[in-house]
Amino acid sequence: MTEIVLGVGASHSTLMNTHWEETHHKDRAERFRDALGEARDALAAARPDTVVLIGSNHFRGFWLDLIPSFTIGVDECLASGESGTPKGPQPVDRELALYLANALVERSGFDVAFSARMQIDHGQSHAVQYLLDGLDVDLVPLVVNVFAPPLPTLDRCERLGRAIREAVLAFPGDRRVAVIGSGGLSHRLPWPDWRDPRGEDEEFMVGAWRDGRENWQDYDARRREIIRAAEAALNPEFDEEFLSWLERGQAHRLTEYTTAELEKVAGNGAQELRTWLLMAAVLDHAPGRRLSYEPMPEWLTGMGVAVLDPAQTQNSERQS
């Protein structure tokens, strides 16, 4: 029997690794880091065999020569290791990953791309570093396109999450499965719409995304300079509202936004909330528990951590 035992949503930032000492709001940073540790402990207590790890691509694993909306890693998975995140091969639950790739087509009509040699970046390896530290689990990595428009709609992401839930629960093997959504919350990156770059920096970025498959490291120093020069654009009110939806089992309300509306209210980085939405849908929108929310302008991001525990929901239903 296969069970879905826990869901975790967590923001990521490589600046935790590279600029910790320069962080001004150390108290907030420490509370966020502690919340990651608490989520890691919740994952350990749930004893998963496999983690469906849903993250975004920051043009170190996928480039503009090919950008699927959704890609499942079904065999080899390599982490790029930028900015102090884990590097090298990651363990993949090949049996479950292949089953999902097939079942989503056969049962749900989702023609999700697959990769037998996937490269992930900090959009997922940040979670490996902080949420899976010391845990003996295999992965089913799922990369969502959130930065190269046209993006999959929020409604499409929510429906994919439900389809993944159905497929996981129908898996004939014996697994305890946890789900992590990595990304968000509100933030704005100095990244252009690749279709219409404006100015030298934006043209450089698009060139890096188009041509960086074999030598992405060559572009990294200037990329980092452009990002570090950006001004923070957070929306704590939006972040609080989204987290309150998650706590009430209503993360599906995010689908009320169009892609353009979400960017306008919470920045282009908030498109990563597709990963949280997918995670919540796989958990059947069980009510969540917020562990932390910290607006971190020096990391350019509203940083949040939450846990969705279906066992808690079942206990509450029995008591009522």
Q: Is residue 132 part of a domain?
A: yes
Q: Is 145 within the bounds of a domain?
A: yes
Cis peptide leading into residue 132 (ω within 30°)? no
Which helix (DSSP H) or strand (DSSP E) does residue 235 occupy?
none
Looking at residue 232, what is its pLDDT? 87
pTM greater than the 0.75 cutoff: yes
Spatial neighbors of 5 by CB under 8 A, at least 6 apart, are 46, 47, 48, 176, 177, 178, 310, 311
Contact present, 285 and 309 (Cβ < 8 Å):
no
Per-residue pLDDT reduced to its tens digit, 158-214:
999 999 999 999 999 899 999 999 999 999 998 899 999 999 999 999 999 999 888
Is residue 219 assigned to a domain?
no
Q: Is position 269 within any domain?
A: yes
Residue 57 located in a structural domain: yes
Predicted local confidence at residue 313, as pLDDT: 65
pLDDT of amino acid 1 = 87
Residues of the chain with pLDDT under 70: 313-320
Select from 14, 2, 138, 160 the least CA-distant residue to 76: 138
Q: Does residue 17 belong to any structural domain of this protein?
A: yes
Whether 214 maps to a domain, the answer reads no
Say if 207 falls within a structural domain. no
pLDDT at 315: 53
Reduced to 3 states, what is the DSSP secondary structure of residue 144?
strand
Which domain covers residue 299, as residue numbers? Answer: 3-189+230-319
> In sequence order, which residues have a C-beta less than 8 Å from that of residue 219 and are 6 or more positions away?
204, 207, 208, 212
Mind telling me the catalytic residues? 122, 187
> How many domains is the chain built from?
1
Instruction: Assign residue 158 the CATH number of its domain.
Output: 3.40.830.10
> Percentage helix, strand, coil, to 5, in the chain?
45, 20, 30
